[in-house]
Amino acid sequence: MARDPIAVPEERMRDADRSQSTILAAARDEFAECGLGGARMDRIAERAGLNKRLIYYYFEDKEKLFQAVLEQAYRDIREEEIKLHLLELEPAAAVRRLIEFTWDYYLAHPEFMTLLNSANLHKARHLAGSERARELNSPLVETLAAVLERGRREGKFRGGVDPVQLYVSIAGLSYFYLSNNPTLSAIFGRDLLAPKARSERLSHMSDVILGYLLRS
């Protein structure tokens, strides 16, 4: 009552925004755990502590909600990538830093991988709107190109390395190991996420990539 009349819309805005992010976070967890087909709107509402109806109010339907979750996931990782400042490092250190970052990010955000898997299962139709797709392109590819170029100029790196290919390879080395961890752990009969196994994997990946890049 008798509240500052200017503050009112902002307050409302904030509540709406908060509800939306709460839903988004809950949906991300649910989609990550159960996949798109296995996710339940009821459970998302429950996780969010909000009325199910509100999800539809803000996100229209399950499909669109998933899309929103996906976009948020991209925004989140891009935000972290920006903080890397790879150009301030020596080329080899920069590449090592990127490998480490990728590994750590996937480890800390396993949901990112499952979300991507879901998106790809559905042929990435969720980013069919090509306008959006480009925004999701990592700035790291550009950066990596610069790092590779500098390494080559300084005689440290081999030439002719496609930064896109390398970026994909670096991601793939972590992704496959972590995303398929349950299967791999079962098959090999050992816990691939044990501390020792983790550091071994990280070393191996650095060895592979730098063994490939560095001129001997």
Residues that bind a copy of itself (CB under 8 A): 1, 33-39, 114, 116-121, 123-124, 127-128, 130, 133-134, 136-138, 158, 162, 164-166, 168-169, 171-177, 179-189, 200-201, 204-205, 207-209, 211-213, 216
* Residue 2 CB coordination number (10 Å): 4
Among a copy of itself, DNA, none, partner that 180 touches (CB below 5 to 8 angstroms by kind): a copy of itself
CB of 182 to a copy of itself, least distance (A): 3
Least separation in angstroms between CB 170 and a copy of itself: 10
Stretch that binds DNA, among 16-24, 98-106, 129-137, 152-160 (CB under 7 A): 16-24
What does 3 interact with, of DNA, a copy of itself, none (CB < 5 to 8 A by kind)?
DNA
Residue 74: CB minimum distance to DNA, A? 22
Name the binder of 209 from DNA, a copy of itself, none, CB < 5-8 A by kind: a copy of itself
With binding defined as CB under 7 A, does residue 13 bind DNA?
Answer: yes
Residues 6+ apart with CB under 8 A from 143: 84, 86, 87
| Whether the Cβ atoms of residue 157 and residue 97 lie closer than 8 Å to each other | no
CB 152 within 8 A of CB 158: yes
Nearer to DNA, 52 or 198 (CB): 52
* Nearest alpha-carbon partner for 165 in 196, 205, 202, 209: 209
Angle at 102 between CA 97 and CA 105, to 5 degrees: 115
Q: Which is nearer to DNA, 57 or 105 (CB)?
A: 57
Nearer to a copy of itself among residue 51 and residue 180 (C-beta): 180
Taking the C-alpha atoms of residue 26 and residue 48, their distance in angstroms, rounded to an integer, is 5
**Which residues in 37-76 contact DNA (CB under 7 A)?**
39-42, 50-54, 56-57, 61-63
Full DSSP string of 100-165: HHHHHHHHH-HHHHHHHHHHHHTTTGGG-SHHHHHHTS-THHHHHHHHHHHHHHTTSB-S---HHH
Q: In angstroms, give the least distance from the CB of 186 to a copy of itself.
A: 4
Rounded to whole angstroms, the Cα distance separating 43 from 31 reads 10
The item of a copy of itself, DNA, none sharing an interface with residue 15, based on CB under 5 to 8 Å by kind, is DNA
Q: Return the sign of the alpha-carbon dihedral for residues 128, 137, 161, 168.
A: negative
Shortest Å distance, C-beta 16 to DNA: 3
